[in-house]
Structures are given as C-alpha cells and as structure tokens.
Structure 1
Amino acid sequence: MASAFRYGEIPGVSIGDTFADYDAMNLARVHRASQGGISGGKDGSDSIVVNGGYADDVDDGDEIIYTGGGGRHPNSRKRHVADQELTRANAGLLRAYEERQPVRVIRGSNGDRRFSPASGYRYDGLFGITEVWPENRKQDGFRIWRFRLVRLGTASVPAPKSDPDETEDDNTSWTGGRQVSLVKVRRGQRQFRAGLLGKYGLTCAVTGPVPKEALQAAHLRAFAEHETHKLGEGLLLRSDIHALFDAGLLAIEASTGTVVVAPSLRDHSTYGPLAGTRLAISADLMPDRFALADHYEAARARWALEG
C-alpha cells in the first residue's frame, strides 16, 4: 500500500540511504509509488526516481532535466508511440513547480553512472523544479514534458528569470527553504504558461518561433482586473511584444487576425513592419475573439486620446 503524500524530508531517512527495491522505498515513505518514476497525481508530486527510464533524461548531478511520464512504448525507453499529456503525475510535478514545493530525488542503478548507485536505489536529497516546458522529440516528433530540477541547499533558489511575468518578486523560495518573504504572487500563472506552451508550442503569436526563454504568457483581459487564467483568453508572446501588448501599443484585429500597431510605432524600424501581418498561429487555435476585440477597442481608444 502506498504511503501518505508528503513533501520534503522524511523523518528517519537521510541523504545517501539506499533501498533494495520499490517495496523498500515505499515502506520508508521516501517514494510512495509502487511503480513508476513519479510519485503523486494531479494534486502534487513529491518524489521522482532517476533511473534511465527515458532516453531524453539528462543528469548532471546537482541539476537534472527530467522527462515526464507517458507516451513511451512499454518495452522501450527510446521508442515513443504517443504524446505525453500534462495530466496525473506530470500535472503533479507542474503543481509542485507552481507552489514551490521541494521534490525528493532518488537515483537508481540504471541511471547515469557518474551519479548512480552500484545497485538498488539511493535517496539523494531535495530538489526544486525551476522550469517546465513541452518539446517535440527530434527522433519521432512526439511531445514530451520536461522538468528542470536543481538541488536545494541552505540558500533559496530564485524564481526562474525566463518567466518574469509569473510573479511580482523573484525571491520566492520553495517550502522548506530558509528564506521568508512576503510577496504578491499571481497564483496559477505558471500553470497558465505551461498550458499555453502545450497549446501553441514555442511560438510567439505575433512573430513566430522563438526560444522558450523569450516567451511569456499574455492575458487578453488584464489579470489585475479579472484575476483569472483562461487558456482561451491567453497568448504566448515574445517578451518585448508582450510589453507592447500590455501597454496598448500593439493589438490584434479579431475578425482578420492581423496585427495593428499604435500610430507612435508605425515608423519604428522593428515594430512598424508588424502592422497588417497575420498571426503566426493557425485559425483553429485563435483565442477568444470577444477578448481580442475588447483589447483592440481599448487600445484604439487610448490612441485616440493621445491624438
């Protein structure tokens, strides 16, 4: 029987403790899943096993890029037969990321030889998830979910610098860290961004494909006023485009899906040429047209006032 869900350290279990098999880990409560690399479900995931289960995993000791569960052929760690979904234990890891919860890392003997035990499994301490993103495998094009984890020490790890729109303070620490700070956090923003990444991939709706570090989750209706995250009312935008969009200097004409720029930007060498271009997303992925129209009308009203 699986033990109770619990984030953080387990009383009586120390870094370096070894376990013969899953039954032993489950009995010690260090990894509550009876099988599988991720312990948890949609409400949160509290531990992972790094044991060479997916060929895409990267283990560098104090930093791990971990592949989510699902999509793989049951008899092959390299062959995928379906996209991974952001559900069940994968959704739990996303929730741990969003809530800044520490994740226990256990390494198995089939993982990277530099960091893995000679046999069985070894508890290697607490890690924090610093980034979550989807990507398509080069080998077959199937989507996988990726989780970057960094070992937690005595100092807190800052919020990811690639997601500046996700919180109003980059000093938020994971539960269990020593730093305490009072911050106003946009709850659900990281999940919102992850959902938009799953929907649109690594594509700015205005300018096209860009690295994930440059993409931000934009609300068509100001979050400060509505405090809701709706995928149908969101777009992925390059950071500079996002700033212009929020400032009402760039908008989207809903009926045609074309970009409109403020009069003050029409002679700008970078942003002026965007006027009249069509969105870089397919018509079936267009966000809510009423929300787009509201943003567009508000922007036009501002331009009229500015003369």
Structure 2
Amino acid sequence: MKKRIFGEIEGILEGDIFKNRIELSISKVHRPTQAGISGSENEGSDSIVISGGYEDDEDLGDIIIYTGHGGRSNNSKIQVADQTLTRGNKALAISCEKQLPVRVIRGYDKDSKFSPEEGYRYDGLFLVKDYWHDKGKSGYVIWRFRLEKIINQKELPYEEENNMINEPDSNYNLTRRQEHIINRVIRETKVAMYVKKMYKDTCQVCGIQIKSQVMSYSEAAHIKALGKPHNGPDTKENILCLCPNHHTMFDLGIISIDEDMSVLGIEGARLRVHSKHTIDKELIKYHREHHYKKLN
C-alpha cells in the first residue's frame, strides 16, 4: 500500500500548475483522479481540490470554507441528500483534531478570483481549524470545514502508513521531523478578560481553577465562533470561562450546553453561571445545532 504523505511533496513548489487530475495524481500532490478529498477514515486527509464543485464552498484566499463530499446529484453542484461524517469528511475531521497539514489544490473556477486560469494549481499547506454541520443552500445537511493557510511554512514530508506507529530509527540524523511556522496574533479582548476575571479563572464546566505560584489560568471560549462564516459577537453573552480540556472539548463539539444549562456529553454536569453573567440561549442553540457531535 502506498504511503500517505502529509505535508510538502519533494520537488513540488507552491504555484506549480498541472494540466489535469492525472498529472496531479502522478505527482502525488493529490492522488485521487476524481474525489475532491484525499484521505482515509483512519489516517486523516492529506490533500483537497477546490474547483467550485459544491454550491456552498467559499474561497476567501488564505481562508477556505470547504464543503464536504456526498449528497450531490451527478454532474451538478446541487445537493439532493444529506451528507454524513464518513469517508473523506471524517478524514478532514481527523486532520482537524490531529492538526495535520493539508495540501490545497485549486482548479479553474470562473466564479473565484483565486483560481488559476486553467488546469490545477498547488497553493500550499493549510490547517483544518474547525468543522461543523449546517443546512446548505439546497436545504440538506452538509459538513463544512474551515481551512487556514500556514504562513511562512517550512515543511518536511510527514508520512503515516495504515495509522501504525513504527519504532523510530536510533540514528538521530535520520529522524524525520515536521515544523510549522505560523504567524498569528494571540490576544484576548477586554470582554474575554472580564469574563475570566468574573469567574476567577475557574472552569464553568468542572469547577477547577488552575493555579501556579504566581497566577491562575483559564481560557475564554466563544460559544458562536468569531469571523466567517459564523460571525459570532465578541460579547460576554457569547463567552465561557473554561479550562483547557473543556475548551478543547467544547470547540470539537464533544460537549455542548442544553437549554437548562446542563452539559451535554458529560452525565450529570451543569454549567456554573455567575449571577452577573447572562448567556445568550440563541448562541448555545447555534452551538448545539452546528457543532455538537453526540457520541454513540
């Protein structure tokens, strides 16, 4: 079985053009000759092609809101059935949770200013930062994935075969590594700091306060994410004070909040709410309907 390569392909540069899907496959940039998502349900996704094939795709350049596969009528962009979190969609979800780099290839699309004039162009490495289910333009359930470009990337091939972990070579010089260099501004708004101070950095889910010798630590979690495509407000009604574990679980949709403030996904748990903290129930409803992934 061919090894799946996560990251750059040796000899391929960002901006390289390929005439067709066969050339893409031979180059190993994107192996499937038809499917838009390359990957497996065990390993994750190593590459995608975006070329306007789905009506709900949004190409914003360094940010892509990508529609998963399935539920589309033949030779049409129109959805005729619900999508499921299986196959390529599950592969992209795994890449999100493992933070594996995904190669993005753009095909010609007359409706996108970011697409090549012809053929297919390799446009670098992206990370899947979020995934959720939504109702598409045709009224059916679709899975959507937010991909953000890795800026100033330095990437060596990362290989994983059959999701197996092999004993590394004892020779240090032969060890494979991968490195992501991402430029981003890490900051918290005054509103987020206000909410964290209100709870004295105590997690609203588990009640734990992480303390060092000099300070306490918590994270501000937006219930409805800021920015496209969610466009949640940066207000205290849209922010929870959580520990790192429950912040991650909330963002991944492992847990959510019910209307009565019980914590979905953790039996018997209830959200602790300060008397001065009003949480917008429409926002938690949005999180339940779009992000919560009830485990069987």
Tell me whether the two structures share a fold, i.e. TM-score over 0.5: yes
Match of 1:94 in 2: 93
- The Cα shift of 1:154 comes to 2.6
Paired letter, 1:27: I
Match of 1:147 in 2: 145
Unaligned runs of 5+ in 1: 157-174, 180-201, 204-209, 275-280, 289-307
Misfit runs of 4+, over 3 Å: 210-216, 251-254, 259-262, 268-271
Paired letter, 1:177: H
* Greater helix fraction, Structure 1 or Structure 2: 1
Paired letter, 2:64: I
Paired letter, 2:180: G
- The Cα shift of 1:178 comes to 3.8
Count of equivalent residues: 204
Structure number with greater CO (CA < 8 Å, separation at least 6) is 2
Match of 1:109 in 2: 108
CA–CA distance in structure 1, aligned partners of residues 271 and 180 of structure 2: 46
CA–CA distance in structure 2, aligned partners of residues 155 and 20 of structure 1: 25
- The Cα shift of 1:112 comes to 4.2
> Could you tell me whether the CA contact under 8 Å between 2:45 and 2:92 is conserved in 1?
yes
Match of 2:257 in 1: 237
| RMSD of Structure 2 on Structure 1 (CA) | 4.3
CA–CA distance in structure 1, aligned partners of residues 152 and 29 of structure 2: 21
* 1:201-220 correspondence to structure 2 within 5 Å: none
Paired letter, 2:61: G
What secondary structure, in the 3-state scheme, does the structure 1 residue paired with 2:23 have?
helix
CA–CA distance in structure 1, aligned partners of residues 16 and 149 of structure 2: 17
Match of 2:68 in 1: 68
- In the TM superposition, what whole-angstrom CA distance separates every residue of 1:160-211 from its partner, at most 9, and x where no partner exists? xxxxxxxxxxxxxxx53048xxxxxxxxxxxxxxxxxxxxxx99xxxxxx96
Change (3 A) 1:3 1:74: farther
Work out the percentage of aligned pairs sharing the same amino acid. Answer: 39
What secondary structure, in the 3-state scheme, does the structure 1 residue paired with 2:4 have?
coil
Unaligned runs of 5+ in 2: 155-177, 183-222, 225-230, 282-287
* 1:288-299 correspondence to structure 2 within 5 Å: none
- In the TM superposition, what whole-angstrom CA distance separates every residue of 1:258-296 from its partner, at most 9, and x where no partner exists? x8989xx7xx4767xx9xxxxxx9xxx9x89xxxxxxxx
Match of 1:296 in 2: none
> Could you tell me whether the CA contact under 8 Å between 1:102 and 1:176 is conserved in 2?
no
Match of 2:180 in 1: 177
Change (3 A) 1:118 1:3: farther
TM-score normalized by structure 2?
A: 0.56
* 1:1-307 correspondence to structure 2 within 5 Å: 4-42=3-41, 43-77=43-77, 79-110=78-109, 112-137=111-136, 139-154=137-152, 176-178=179-181, 235-237=255-257, 241=261, 268=275
CA–CA distance in structure 1, aligned partners of residues 58 and 10 of structure 2: 29
> Could you tell me whether the CA contact under 8 Å between 2:150 and 2:181 is conserved in 1?
no
The higher radius of gyration belongs to 1
